[in-house]
Amino acid sequence: MARRPFEKPVPGELFVWVKRISWIELAIFAGLIAFWLLPGFDTATMLFGWAHGLGFIALCVLIWVACIRKEAPYTLLAATLTPVGPVGSVIGIELIERKGWGVGETTGFADAGDANRA
């Protein structure tokens, strides 16, 4: 059965990777902030800065692919692109998992009876 263009995304296998990479990127970002605030860690700040920059781009691309595959809502991509970066993606993922914001039900395929419900 073909997917309809306006149906809500359903978290799948790629969403699990989005969650893992978001937490890793958040840890790298926290390390960058810590080394940036502490004096005398110029090399560590540079390394964590590069790791955060490349990791953040990879995270955004991964979330974009998940959005295209209908495994994540576009609001997660928007939350990631806020100035707080990986903090926004982790908060967005938690809201999706705990409240079900922006995603459809994960229980199998919708049949004709489900399509008639509002």
Blockwise average pLDDT, block size 10, the chain, 118 residues: 67 88 95 95 96 96 92 89 90 85 56 40
d(CA 76, CA 92): 6
The reported pLDDT for the residue numbered 100 is 73
Helices then strands, counting H and E runs in the chain, come out as: 5, 0
pLDDT at residue number 4 = 66
d(CA 52, CA 36): 13
pLDDT at residue 8 in the model: 75
What's residue 7's pLDDT? 73
